[in-house]
Amino acid sequence: MGNSIETKIVHGNSYFEERTGAVSYPIYQCATFRHPGLHETTGYDYSRQNNPTREELEKSIALLEEGKYGFAFSTGMAAIANLFEIFSSGDHIVATDDLYGGSYRLFTTICKNHGIEFTFVDSSDIIEIEKSIKSNTKAIYIETPTNPTMKITDIKKVVKIGKKNNLLTIVDNTFMTPFFQRPLILGADIVVHSGTKYIGGHNDTLAGFVVLSDDKIAEKLRLIQKSTGAVIGPFDSWLILRGLKTLAVRMERQEKNAKYIAEKLGENENIENVYYPGLENHSGYEIAKQQATGFGAMISFTVKTKQQVENILKNVKVVMFAESLGGVESLITYPAVQTHGDVPVELREKLGITETLLRLSVGIENCEDILNDIIQAVKGE
Ligand SMILES: *Cc1c(COP(=O)(O)O)cnc(C)c1O
């Protein structure tokens, strides 16, 4: 009973707090915990190490991703940066070339300075991944769909190559969330998230997660989390727990809106290309359909001129011109300048992150309102 994803999303790890019956898990706004005596503990000593509200969040995300261990961090980047502390100087990672810009920046600056080497490939092409594996390769790191051009990578195929070569498969599942896609079930070893996006869902809190099932890696990561201290605070943990409860209904509505808008945008004379994996003519449509129960609510599209980009960004009134994604408010971003500004121009061009590409995170507003807003804005009248 109660094992469907919708119910698990609402109930989370605890369903209610045992001690008081509180339906909303309490905020333990507390830095330290009293010891009953020498060598005695309540299970909580100091909140950098462990805090009940954070623990509830960690166990809830682990439950939804069907992993044994969840770790919550102050941001998605903190989660990814902490995870990469499991690697050492001399290790090599194969990663998707069309990554979230912040991850690309972390890998090519901070991680690189620590001696970790990366090869970026089009991970939707499995042969490209296989060709890039070297004797010091330790992991394959993918996003699917990619950001912002929405390419789909076959997770099961990547896992197969990973297992064959004794590599970890890591999936950034931010765009899909466990409501639509559960990479650990498909065989991946580690899932990371920006909880700031769909999981929190309200554009009001930063958060990040790592979920995995391997005992040894979990032990390492617990030490890293405790030692670096990039944890999420009790109040922010609660905000994410609160947002999480409506994940299923938000994702359903956002996806429904996105499908409608993607189709209609494709018919508009001012729009050139629409990238949405839920369109049957999208190259990743079949794989997306197999490995996920939905296509998400991120759409990218190109207009015909740079002036039309400026028109849209200046004239939208329902959609907001702002970085980020996944919240109830529809947001539009200009990847070439914003999220992917730190990706070199040549790579951007190769990936199709052109000067006329825009990325739309579809919210829960009325779908006609969102569509009409973009159509009126592009004209720049
Ligand atoms: C936003 C984002 C991140 C980084 O998360 P923050 O919470 O902003 O630090 C990582 N991966 C993806 C796919 C993202 O969209």
Distance 300 CA to ligand 1 centre (A): 17
Q: Which ligand 1 atom sits nearest the alpha carbon of residue 206?
A: 7
Report yes or no: 299 and 359 within 8 Å, Cβ to Cβ: yes
Task: Identify the pLDDT of residue 350.
Answer: 86
Distance 331 CA to ligand 1 centre (A): 15
The amino acid that residue 185 corresponds to is I
206 lines ligand 1 (CB under 6 A): yes
Quick check: helix, strand or coil at residue 205?
coil
Mutate to test the pocket of ligand 1, among 197, 199, 232, 239 (most ligand atoms within 8 A of CB): 197
Distance 164 CA to ligand 1 centre (A): 29
287 lines ligand 1 (CB under 6 A): no
339 lines ligand 1 (CB under 6 A): no
Mutate to test the pocket of ligand 1, among 151, 196, 239, 325 (most ligand atoms within 8 A of CB): 196
Distance 92 CA to ligand 1 centre (A): 22
Task: Identify the pLDDT of residue 1.
Answer: 62
Separation in Å, CA 270 to CA 83, 321, 376 = 43, 19, 11
Residues of the chain with pLDDT under 70: 1
Quick check: helix, strand or coil at residue 344?
coil
User: pTM to 2 decimals?
Assistant: 0.97
Whose tokens are 């018919």? That residue is 267
Q: Cβ-count burial of 244 within 10 angstroms (0-12 exposed, 13-18 middle, 19+ buried)?
A: buried
Task: Identify the pLDDT of residue 349.
Answer: 86
Task: Identify the pLDDT of residue 339.
Answer: 80
Nearest to 195 by CA among 208, 214, 182: 208
Structure tokens at 113: 């300075």
Residues with catalytic annotation? 48, 100, 172, 197
Report yes or no: 232 and 54 within 8 Å, Cβ to Cβ: yes
The amino acid that residue 284 corresponds to is G
254 lines ligand 1 (CB under 6 A): no
Task: Identify the pLDDT of residue 161.
Answer: 98
The Cα 105–Cα 118 span in angstroms is 12
